[in-house]
């Protein structure tokens, strides 16, 4: 089976965008791929985190993985920091990275813009991301548009290592779903739905209560027209809501357009809210059961043990090729 690697940062509440764009695909991939799904807590600390909040969000994200349908008997679910090889290989790959490559990273430019001082972790973390992928010799990496550049660096580093020290790393390919890869903000469809947006009305959190979901969707930006039509160029906000409806209800865009022909946005948004609530309520119930039982800690321990067995061997092989004296 081909290997798949992906991870989500525990730096805020997971959103409906995370669910549609990433987690639904994780659930599909686990059935016929060898999957490694991490909570990337080492990436989260590239910017300051409150320790209590980081601990809580780490457990919440891991639990949401399972609640969303990732089966820990089929896929490895673990904390990045629980597998020490990630940090070690991250350093080894940092020494293979060039300043110019890291300076060109769009995310670094965006996050450092206008700041007097910038943490070095924010600068070098693409090398750690490369290590996350290469440590399992992953074949496929589910990525959104904002991560393509980091995957290109990973591919470059794999090729650079292979040319210097002999073929070892698999050069990974992006896995980009045809639909659902990008859910946009509820208040501005030119921006991706993000858990870091300071406006909570811009996103639907997976743990938002039903009444909060209904209120956010009722207030979602539309346009001055009435036609429920998929037209990303001229009706980007309505098109985004249609896409969310399609993924949550399992209906085609055409079916939804036909259903609301001549009805305007009121009925459409009201029904969309109920469709989203119907998806989130069972997920939230499963989430509460897992948190209350404490089983997530066993899941994370077992996932880390399986992942470490692979990761430790990779680090040993890499160090041997690079000339380290092994114990």
The catalytic residue positions are 111, 192, 195
> How many Å apart are CA 103 and CA 47, to the nearest integer?
17
> How many Å apart are CA 239 and CA 253, to the nearest integer?
9
3-state secondary structure 154-182: HHHHHHHHHHHHCCCCCCCEEECCCCCCC
3-state secondary structure the chain: CCEEEEEECCCCCCEHHHHHHHHHHHHHHCCCCEEEEEECHHHHCCCCCCHHHHHHHHHHHHHHHHHCCCCCCCEEEEEHHHCCHHHHHHHHHHCCCCHHHHHCCHHHHHHHCCCCCCCHHHHHHHHHHHHHHHCCCCCEEECCHHHHHHHHHHHHHHHHHHHHHCCCCCCCEEECCCCCCCCECCCCCCCECCCCCCCHHHCCECCCCHHHHHHHHHCCCCCCCCCCCCECCCEHHHHHHHHHHHHHHCCCHHHHHHHCCCCCHHHHHHHHHHHHHHHHHHHHHHHHHHHHHCHHHHHHHHHHHHHHHHHHHHHHHHHHHHCCCCC
> How many Å apart are CA 255 and CA 64, to the nearest integer?
30
Q: How many residues does the chain have?
A: 327
């Amino acid at each position: 089976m081909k290997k798949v690697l992906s991870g989500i940062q525990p730096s805020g509440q997971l959103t409906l965008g995370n669910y549609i764009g990433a987690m639904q695909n994780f659930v599909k991939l686990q059935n016929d791929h060898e999957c490694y799904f991490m909570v990337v807590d080492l990436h989260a600390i590239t910017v300051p985190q409150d320790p209590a909040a980081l601990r809580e969000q780490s457990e919440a994200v891991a639990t949401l993985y399972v609640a969303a349908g990732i089966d820990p008997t089929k896929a490895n679910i673990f904390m990045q920091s629980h597998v020490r090889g990630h940090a070690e290989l991250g350093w080894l790959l940092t020494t293979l990275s060039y300043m110019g490559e890291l300076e060109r990273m769009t995310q670094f430019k965006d996050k450092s813009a206008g700041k007097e001082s910038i943490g070095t972790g924010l600068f070098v973390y693409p090398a750690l991301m490369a290590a996350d992928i290469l440590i399992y010799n992953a074949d496929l990496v589910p990525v959104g548009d904002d991560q393509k550049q980091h995957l290109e660096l990973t591919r470059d580093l794999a090729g650079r290592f292979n040319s210097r020290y002999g073929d070892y790393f698999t050069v990974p390919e992006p896995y980009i779903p045809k639909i659902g890869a990008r859910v946009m903000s509820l208040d501005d469809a030119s921006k991706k739905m993000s858990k870091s947006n300071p406006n909570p009305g811009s996103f639907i959190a997976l743990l938002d209560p039903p009444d909060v979901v209904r209120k956010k969707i009722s207030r979602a930006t539309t346009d001055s027209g009435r036609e429920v039509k998929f037209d990303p160029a001229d009706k980007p906000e309505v098109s985004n809501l249609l896409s969310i409806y399609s993924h949550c209800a399992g209906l085609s865009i055409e079916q939804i357009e036909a259903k609301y022909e001549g009805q305007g946005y009121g009925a459409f948004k009201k029904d969309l809210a109920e469709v989203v609530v119907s998806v989130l309520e069972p997920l939230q119930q499963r989430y509460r059961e897992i948190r209350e039982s404490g089983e997530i800690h066993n899941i994370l321990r077992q996932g880390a043990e399986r992942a470490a067995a692979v990761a430790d061997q990779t680090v040993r092989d890499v160090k041997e090729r690079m000339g380290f004296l092994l114990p």
